[in-house]
Amino acid sequence: MSKHNSLFAKFFFHSKQSSWLWLFLRVYIGWQWLYAGYEKVINPVWVGSNAGVAITGFLNGSLAKTGGQHPDVSMSYAYLIQHVALPNAQTLSYIIAFSEVAIGAALILGLFTGIAAFLGATLNFNFMFAGTVSMNPYWALIEIFLILAWRVSGRIGLDRYVLRFLSRSTKNDM
């Protein structure tokens, strides 16, 4: 590895000075998740009297993208949609809505940033596997970088205190 690559990696993934960049990206992605989740939580087709209606429509739309010479959705993912997601659409609707809110809040607060970014990327990849591109690739890429920079990405946030506390707690238990 060249010296320049090493300096780049040290700055972005280990340096306290890069915390400001990660704060900006973390809050941006966190806001996107929080807002998307909030919009679902207040919508009765996601959470409430008609929960499951929106996700069922989304999933059926994904199944329609499995045909043709170059399908947007793979048959293996379509199988998962048909046999796992659709039969549990109402539960999945609640899980997605509240997960988006929790991921957004955790990223904004800088609380368990690496874990929240991983969960956000997992949702983004699921949306992409279901044939929806939109902003998902961009957000997933940012989340991957937040995961790689977990030591400093939550430094300007609650991770600075929570991770230090957890580190002390596990040392005392040994």
Per residue in 34-47, pLDDT (tens digit) is: 999 999 999 999 99
Query: What is the pLDDT, as a whole number, of residue 136?
Result: 94
Q: Is residue 78 part of a domain?
A: yes
> What integer is the mean pLDDT of 61-73?
93
Domain membership flag for residue 71: yes
Sign, CA torsion 159/161/164/170: negative
Provide the sign of the torsion angle of the four alpha carbons 140, 32, 22, 105, taken in this order.
negative
pLDDT of residue 19: 87
What is the sign, positive or negative, of the torsion defined by CA atoms of 133, 134, 137, 140? negative
Is 155 part of a structural domain of the chain? Answer: yes
Q: Taking residues 154-162, what's their average pLDDT?
A: 89
* In-domain check, residue 9: no
**Total number of domains constituting the chain:** 1
Residues 6+ apart with CB under 8 A from 135: 32
Give the C-alpha separation, 103 to 113, whole Å. Answer: 9
Residue 15 belongs to a domain: no
50 vs 151, residue with greater confidence:
50
Does residue 6 lie within any of the structural domains?
no
Note the pLDDT of residue 171. 64
Alpha-carbon distances, residue 57 vs 75, 100, 134, 159 (angstroms) = 18, 19, 17, 38
Structural domain boundaries enclosing 152: 21-173
pLDDT at residue 174 is higher than 60? no
Q: Quote the CA–CA distance of 174 and 170 in Å, as a whole number.
A: 7
Residue 128 structure tokens: 């992409």
